[in-house]
Structure 1
């Protein structure tokens, strides 16, 4: 067989398209210049490098091949691993490396190599998972943003609404400031139901007068001033303390308290005792304690000695009763402090704080009967509640100022409560500068027990 015959393919086989003879003798281009590009003579030339052909001298033998020659009449076959990659006839085709199979080693371009594609995504899924992850992150971010807005907006809106419910009244006297922060709490009662007998004083009444002082340093103090305290009312002369309210409203009451104690009032808060019933009901009742039986006709209080959970109507009678109390106004002042402490404690319960409906009911009931001095807002009332709790704690001061007589009769004003002139001024000075010893003070000016006993007693049933 000559060289030309040896180069011809076996009968019936077709040469690869890119090597179809095009006007070249011998059926194979002699050089790259003679090759015709895939797709026709006008198609771009593929960048596949062609192997140079070397013509052997006549008579030179071809080196033996490991592949047996094809039988005559049948196309020559090659092992699968030796097959050349198929070349596309598209003019834009480029030579691509063969895809890695399961048996292919991991490496560059393979499943585990750089630039490889993960089989987990599947065909056409390379960009689907990143898009899903991005969408999920956006949804989570939107939900978190909404929750943050609600967490911030609800307290702010509640605060603004609560602040709008506070009725303001001119009350402060404009006296020079004294150190610390002082609140004057007054409980007003119209006496329309005759629960408390008239004492001859005309006009409105204040049956509860409490002075709450937060010093710059030292214990917080909550002192009940007996409503019948004999004092000098500015512009009116000697009279009972609650007569100042009847004659001149909150302003004259504030001025009278400042003259009696030497402490300037920063915030005045007045609570209608008729609203106490709704307030107690808003917190679902409170626990109150009294260590003796009561059957009082004027206040309609019927009580069995011990601690009981009561609703608004009975709680109101509890703080208004005084004629069946062996300590009179002093005992009533103690019960009033006990009620305020119980309501404050119940309102601070987590079940109330996290319940929007309870919050609205509490604010609506509590502030519906409140009047405060000009400039006193809901934030100041919140600080007042915190100060009240501090005064009722183990490190606070509660009680009354030292009392000389519970039935002092100077003439012209009936029976009054006379403070000890030699001890009361020092008592108020100690409260003002924070030097008074913590504890619960009785009418004798002595510390009887820690003020926390009010809360501890109310916990026992």
Structure 2
């Protein structure tokens, strides 16, 4: 169908309504633009036609006249100026927190590394404590007068338990039942022999009523030698009778017995029989038990409640010394610094030692005493012939001279002892 001729007063042709794909391009509206066909074909632009000047459209009645459309550069609407393009601010980098300064890692504690140091410190304490205690012991003049026996290979020491009351107060004398007798006497006399070679050490009890010659004082009980001339005369008397040179001297008194026991918290003693002795202030039942200082002192002093008299008392004294050293060597004492310190210093303050007696001699005595509790030390009594020998000094103890001489010869020649020699069991011989 041919197009309708355009009239001058016609307005712009109105495109035919239809689908967008059927809309044809208007050469006046499109300057060389492509028309897209939805069916997938691309149509070339129509050749540009000369643009006609728009004609004025007649004004209809009742309608105001439309102003003419401006043309040219002025026809373009003024656009607001674009805002000034400011450069974008630089992107701030996010501050990164500096890693915290790492503290030096604490060293891992290794307590086992301290064990050698603790062991060394403990061993030093065990050694230094008795050395310090030894510096507080009192010295006793025990050097005998006159000629002395020759030195022997082994060592022989004199151990004395004194009943001196000089260091006790009135209350202590009353509590311990020691009485108020003046002067010094011995409650126990023992020879401690330590061989230089093999064999066992030996503790030989000398009954205090043993009858023998006392230099310058005729014959008397050996206890009189201590009462007359103290340690010096006692050492001289025993050296002449035994022909043994005494290499050291150690003495302990009543108060020392009780204090040493209490410093250990008591000692374990097996009482051989019921002991009710008012003079010793004890009433002990038969059997093993722990004795405090007061009862232990009564146990070693009692003589009237023992049917064997001084012989039985000498055995109990050796038993007591072994119990003391056993208690001193237990872990409850050695591993307890307070008890260990108390025992060593109490013992040092309770004893007196000879002028020439050294710490090595004291250690030999203590070790021999300790061995009496485990049979590594022989516990003996000088051979006895008669326990009730009548003398001018009263009933005394008479030695078996032949067997006693054999015993002291063995000790003087340092012969090894593995078993008690004959007659050293404290029983009187038949002769």
Q: What band does the TM-score fall into relative to the shorter chain?
A: 0.5 to 0.7
Matched with 1:103 is none
How far does residue 396 in structure 1 lie from its aligned partner after superposition?
Answer: 3.2
| Aligned partner of residue 415 in structure 1, secondary structure | strand
Structure 2 CA distance for partners of 1:166 and 1:409, relative to 1, 3 Å: same
Aligned pairs for 1:58-457 (under 5 A) are: 147=118, 150-151=121-122, 153-173=124-144, 175-190=149-164, 203-216=183-196, 217-411=198-392, 413-432=393-412, 433-439=414-420, 441-444=424-427
How has the CA–CA distance of structure 1 residues 359 and 416 changed in structure 2, closer, same or farther, with 3 Å as cutoff?
Answer: same
Offset, 1:246: 0.8
- Tell me, in whole angstroms, the C-alpha distance in 2 between the residues paired with 1:395 and 1:154: 27
TM-score, length of structure 1 as denominator length: 0.62
| CA shift for structure 1 position 444 | 3.5
| Deviation by residue 1:396-435 (Cα, 9 ceiling, x = unmatched) | 3212111111111222x11111101222111222233234
- Compute the displacement of 1:152 (Å): 5.9
User: What is the distance in 1 between the residues matched to 2:345 and 2:130?
Assistant: 12
Distance 1:396 1:445, change over 3 A: farther
Q: Measure the CA separation in 2 of the matches of 1:410 and 1:144.
A: 66
Taking the aligned partners of 1:392 and 1:149, their CA distance within structure 2 comes to 30
1:242 Cα deviation (Å)?
Answer: 1.1
SS at match of 1:162: helix
Determine if contact 1:162/1:378 at 8 Å carries over to the other structure: no
- Residues 177 and 280 of structure 2 are in contact (CA less than 8 Å); yes or no, is this contact kept in structure 1? yes
**Is the 8 Å Cα contact of residues 427 and 436 (structure 1) preserved in structure 2?**
no
| Cα distance in structure 1, aligned partners of 2:428 and 2:195 | 20
Superposition deviation, residue 183 in structure 1: 1.3
1:41 corresponds in structure 2 to none
Does the residue aligned with 1:368 lie in a helix, a strand or coil? helix
Larger radius of gyration between Structure 1 and Structure 2? 2
What's the CA shift for 1:144?
A: 7.7
List, as ranges, runs of 4+ consecutive aligned residues in structure 1 with deviation greater than 6 Å. Answer: 139-146
Contact 1:220 1:434 in 2 (8 A): no
Distance 1:145 1:418 in 2: 58
Contact 2:149 2:244 in 1 (8 A): no
Contact 1:188/1:272 (8 A) holds in 2 = yes
Is this contact kept in 2: 1:203–1:247, CA < 8 A?
Answer: no
Distance 1:297 1:287 in 2: 22
Higher relative contact order by CA 8 Å / sep ≥ 6: 1 or 2?
A: 2
TM superposition shift of 1:259: 1.5
The separation in 2 between residues aligned to 1:310 and 1:152, in whole angstroms, is 30
Which of 338-347 and 371-380 deviates more?
371-380
Distance 1:169 1:390 in 2: 26
Q: Contact (CA 8 Å) 2:388, 2:396: kept in 1 or not?
A: yes
1:196, distance to aligned residue in structure 2 (A): 7.1
CA contact (8 A) 2:130 2:345 kept: no
Which moves more between the two structures, 154-163 or 175-184? 154-163
Contact 2:322 2:372 in 1 (8 A): no
Residue 269 of structure 1 and its aligned partner are, at CA, apart by 0.2
Structure 1 contact 396–438 (Cα < 8 Å) conserved: no
Aligned alpha-carbon RMSD (Å): 3.2
Deviation at 1:176, TM superposition (A): 2.6
